[in-house]
Chain A
Amino acid sequence: MGMSFLLRRLSYGLLLMLGVVVLNFFLIRLAPGDPAVVIAGDMGGATEEILESIREEYGLNKPVLTQLWIYISGVAQGDLGDSFFFNQPVAKLIGERISPTILLVITAQLLSIMLGVVLGVLAARKPNGVMSAFVSVFSTIGYAVPVFWTGIMLIILFASTFPVFPVEGMQSIKLRNAGFFTQALDIAHHLVLPAFTLAIIYLAQYARLSRASMLEVLSSDYIRTARAKGASEGTVLFKHALRNAALPILTVAGLQFGNLISGALLVETVFNWPGMGRLAFDSILRRDYPTIMGVLFFASMMVVVANLITDISYRWADPRLRGRT
């Protein structure tokens, strides 16, 4: 893989992040009212003293471009401002909550891709079969169900009827001091319902997509070649076809990542998952703008990183793209 390609994608990612910072800056100033009051948030009791210290810190009395520079250089040094509601630096608040979100989002992403691809491949083997009909109905339904409602329905189902999975939080309080393995198992146990809730919409989409993609690939000449060699049906499907059908799936997986984070916001709220979604929800209710903007910044960064990973893996998966910049 060319270094220049990596460098170019990296610097483009940084440029996008700079764009997010600038957007954040202007959003606060676009909001009606005194920016200092906006930054202090809806606490009702922001004293003139606090407001003055905010004006000082953000340079609100200086020209806009100077303010922008102060803001950008602050972010570059990891300073996203302070949350006046939580009375903590925003970066610290987010740092404590980002791993649960990453855990949830990545688990859901892997779950939906793997199950979706298996469903799609099975369906593609018989384009008019039962499995195909199921995939098509399931994907239409999956698209139409509000994710937060799925979560609530699962909570109702699993809280009383089948109490096999915990429906709230990420860890059992009584296991907080247990060994690493016990804790990991406990977290995985708590992860089942939120991850499945989040995965189900995308699972349906991946199933539909991989069915279509597999159907197209299966009619191509190189599949006929593989059969003519005497390759078994399994080898044809999972080695020759899937490797090629995976390319559009990979593209969509990259594009979907932003939506997945949006979905995680709702799912975290429903399941009381201690991640950035909960933080966003809490800070929005309190109009704690520095925290909201910080969450927007970090969530966008996750998308940028995901896109970068997609780009790189796409070039790995499709040799025709290697060597191009």
Chain B
Amino acid sequence: MTALLDIKDLRVTFNTRYGEVTALDSVALHVNAGETLGIVGESGCGKSITALAAMGLIPMPPGRIAGGSIQLEGEELTTASEARLRKLRGREIAMIFQEPMTSLNPVFTVGQQIAEAIRLHQNVSATQAFRDAVALLDRVGIPSAAERARDYPHQLSGGMRQRVMIAMAVSCRPKVLIADEPTTALDVTVQAQIFDLLNEIQRDFGVAIILITHDMGAVSEMADRVAVMYAGRVVEQSTADNVLDMPQHPYARGLIDCIPALGKGETELKEIPGVVPPLHLLGAGCAFADRCTLKNARCETEKPLLLNHGHHLAACHAVEEGRR
């Protein structure tokens, strides 16, 4: 079976004042119809760039797709015309963003903004589109939807705005929904509600979700499969259970260790020492080497490839060599 969205060997570069910097390298991911793929990693690992690449929204210049392919239902997106991408965006593949506060246009009502999304892809009248927008707002759990549709974004709470974003994203029944840190800017209680809503939406609409997050808790609740990214590469990929229960890559293990386990009486929050290296300073070796407790000479000079280790794909010399 071919995947719904299939990213192969994707390489994205950006022109910066430090010269051409590789933001994504050899990224391979896929998501099947109706499933949820979690992409995890710290900030600056290339999660959002991957999402924007799938949407065809990488700003070019300074960005450039330097290699690889992105296929949506077998259709190549990296070489598709802007007009074709515009048709797919919103209709086949939609996205919701981290900041519901700033992601809605402040000078239009939320109803207008959803109706616009509908009319961009469906041949319906303005009144019908607005009625559909109200129905969608109702569907995503906004009370008195007909009145709220006439509100401006600043009149709604953060959670409500994210619901509006979700309504807008699913308005044309897309096959893929990319949710880029959809709850990071929200209160903890609201976070759970948004995840519940996304689960419901997936069940009812049959949409595949790519959930980008650094919250392993969210991944364990939502994702069927998980890809761990580090410094522009996928370093581990498997089912959610596999990654959560027996992570292979030292970075993935570090991330899992950081989840505060309930009831274990641990008071100290763990973290992986060090930071993600700036992309323009990446050397020849493994990007994680500087922070890795298992590194050896090979890790400093040779980039590990993403290889199949039983149930896991992992890119690590230590895993390859069975060092622990």
Contacts and interface: CB of A to CB of B under 8 A. Distances in A.
Interface residues of B, number: 28
B165 to A, nearest CB: 8
B222 interface: no
Given A221-B97, A232-B86, A226 B105 contact: yes
Interface in B112-129: 116-117, 120-121
Interface string A228-271: 11111000000010011000000000000000000000000000
Interface string A302-325: 000000000000000111100000
B102 A229 contact: no
Nearest to A220: B102
A62 interface: no
Instruction: Please report whether the interface of chain A is mostly helix, strand, loop or mixed according to DSSP.
Output: helix
Given A228-B55, A228-B94, A319 B88 contact: no
A240 B105 contact: yes
Contacts, number: 66
B107 A244 contact: yes
Interface string B59-103: 000000000000000000000000000111111001101010011
Contact of A222 (B55, B89, B106): B106
Given A317-B107, A319-B107, A229 B99 contact: no
A225 interface: yes
Given A227-B57, A244-B106, 12 more contacts: A221-B103, A222-B104, A225-B105, A228-B90, A229-B94, A229-B120, A230-B90, A230-B121, A231-B86, A244-B105, A318-B106, A319-B109
Interface of A: 220-222, 224-232, 240, 243-244, 317-320
Interface of B: 55, 57, 86-91, 94-95, 97, 99, 102-109, 116-117, 120-121, 152, 154, 165, 168
30 contacts: A220-B102, A221-B102, A222-B104, A222-B105, A222-B106, A224-B57, A225-B97, A225-B104, A225-B165, A225-B168, A226-B105, A227-B89, A228-B94, A228-B95, A229-B168, A230-B86, A230-B89, A230-B91, A230-B120, A231-B86, A231-B116, A232-B86, A243-B105, A243-B107, A244-B107, A318-B107, A319-B106, A319-B109, A319-B154, A320-B154
